[in-house]
Amino acid sequence: MILAEFFQSSSDERLLGFAVSGHAGMAESGQDVVCASVSSAVMMTANNVTDIFGEAHGVKAKVEVLENDILLKLTEDTEGLGDRLILGLLTHLYMVSEEFPEAVRVKISER
């Protein structure tokens, strides 16, 4: 199962980051469309946060990538763009989890 945990500020409800780990187990590695959907969306979000918007737009993040595991934590988000990008990922993964509840679980934790 893929677990996607999103970190939300307890004071203003802004999204501060996410951790995604696991494998959907819907098919063999390399053939799993659920894993591909999640992986693609996660990498696109991380790349948008770090490379597209990045410091030029007041967004800085710490990213750790391991096999079947990624952690992204915003360290600066002056204009709220990082929050919006992460919200897009949360929305996407929530929709995937509704279609494949046995393969994807989404959780929001306050920090």
pLDDT digits (tens, 9 = 90+) for 12-29: 999 999 999 999 989 887
The segment with the largest mean pLDDT, out of 24-28, 64-68, 79-83, is 79-83
For 25-58, give one letter per residue: b (16+ CB within 10 A) or e: ebeeeeebebbebbbebbeebbebbbeebbeeee
pLDDT, position 30: 83
Could you tell me the pTM of the whole model?
A: 0.94
CA 16, distance to chain mean position in Å, is 10
CATH number at residue 52: 3.30.70.1490
Number of independent structural domains in the chain: 1
Across 31-42, average pLDDT: 95
Q: Residue 104 is part of which domain span? A: 2-110
